[in-house]
Amino acid sequence: MHNPDLPPRPRRLASAMTRLPAKRRDLALIGMVLVCWSFPTGAVAHTGGVNAQGCHAGSQPYHCHRAQGDSRTSAPPETSGLTGTASVIDGDTLAIHGHRIRLHGIDAPESGQICEDAGGRSYRCGQVAALALADRIGRRPVTCIAQDTDRYGRRIAVCEQGDVDLNAWMVAGGHALAYRRYSRDYVGEEAAARDAGRGLWQGRFVAPWDWRRGAR
């Protein structure tokens, strides 16, 4: 028995189509084509997690998924070099040509952070870190090669001046710590600064990531 809730089988459908008047048959065919055309045909199953921008950074080709209703076009992280005179925002953040750049693999004390020197005296270690970086850079051009983009839209980059890796220089001088949560690139520089008692390591301090969570 024919179930009216089910679509007709192909032979019955073809037979039904031939019995339609020509004009109605043409309209029916057009409708069927439009329905088929509306279904997506390029979906490909794949594995792998997404980053903060909703992109499969490890997939080839690099691609992103937009949230429903989001018409913005996603793009891969900016990885080209950016060169120019740098302004120091704090001990691990620069600005070049209006672009905010977070130094990769390091974490410097926050601007309002207080530490203790070798004599137990309080000093603004975040301010000291920023001034050390500003003095090192001066007005000479800096080149930053982006590794990624963070959730605030800043480029995460390794920045160099001449043949000096500024990220490494900050950690080696004791002005910043190796940010192990994201990278172990500067663990060696941190160990050398700690053993020599340079910068932060001359006295007592709270790691910047703990200070931001409220440890004082």
DSSP string over 104-161: TTEEPPPTT--EE-TTS-EE-HHHHHHHHHHHHHTTS-EEEEEEEE-TTSPEEEEEEE
Q: Residue 139 belongs to what domain range? A: 81-207
Pairing mode, if any, of strands 155-161 and 99-103?
parallel
In total, how many domains does the chain have? 1
Map tokens 């870190």 to a residue. Answer: 129
Tens digit of pLDDT at every position of the chain (216 positions): 444 444 444 444 455 555 556 556 555 555 554 544 444 444 444 444 544 444 444 444 434 443 333 333 334 444 468 999 999 999 999 999 999 999 999 999 999 999 999 999 999 999 999 999 999 999 999 999 999 999 999 999 999 999 999 999 999 999 999 999 999 999 999 999 999 999 999 999 999 999 999 998
Q: Is 50 domain-assigned?
A: no
- The distance of Cα 35 from the centroid of its chain, to the nearest Å, equals 39
- What is the CATH number for 164? 2.40.50.90
Residue 23's beta-bridge partner residues?
none
Q: How many angstroms from the chain centroid is the CA of residue 37?
A: 36
How far is residue 127 CA from its own chain's centroid? 26
On whether residue 147 sits in a domain, the answer given is: yes
Give the Å distances, CA to CA, from 43 to 26, 34, 40, 174: 30, 19, 7, 51
Residue 11 located in a structural domain: no
- 23 in any annotated domain: no
User: Is residue 24 in some structural domain?
Assistant: no
From 130, 108, 138, select the one nearest 200 (Cα to Cα).
Answer: 108
